[in-house]
Amino acid sequence: MKLPVPDEHLTAYVDGRLSPRGLRRVRAHLDRSPDADALVRHLVHLVARLRRLRHHRHPEPPPEFWPLCYARLRDFAHSYECAPKRHEQAADLLKCAGFVLLCAGALHLLTSRQVSGLWLLLAGVACYVVARLLHRGP
Partner 1 sequence: MRSFWRRPKEHIERDLALFEELVERCQRQTYRVAYRLCGNHEDAQDLIQEALFEAYRNFGRFTPGTRFDRWLYRIMTNRHIDRIRRDGRLPTLSLDQGEEGNGGEAGWQVADAEADPAGQVLDEVLDERLENALGQLPPEYRQVVVLADIEELSYEEVARVVRCPVGTVRSRLHRGRALLRERLKHLFPAEGKP
Q: What is the distance of C-alpha 72 from the center of its chain?
A: 22
- C-alpha to C-alpha distance for 106 and 94, rounded to whole angstroms: 18
Task: Using the rule CB under 8 A, give the single segment among 20-28, 92-100, 101-109, 113-121 that binds partner 1.
Answer: 92-100
15 sits near partner 1 (criterion: CB under 8 A): yes
Sign of the dihedral through C-alpha 20, 26, 32, 34: negative
Q: Mask: binding to partner 1, 60-89, rule CB under 8 A, as x and -? A: xxx--xx--xx-xxx-xxx-xxx-x---xx
Would you say 23 and 33 are in contact if contact means Cβ atoms under 8 Å apart? no
- C-alpha to C-alpha distance for 119 and 133, rounded to whole angstroms: 21
107 sits near partner 1 (criterion: CB under 8 A): no
Binding site for partner 1 (CB under 8 A): 7-8, 10-12, 14-15, 17, 38-54, 56-62, 65-66, 69-70, 72-74, 76-78, 80-82, 84, 88-89, 91-93, 95, 135, 137
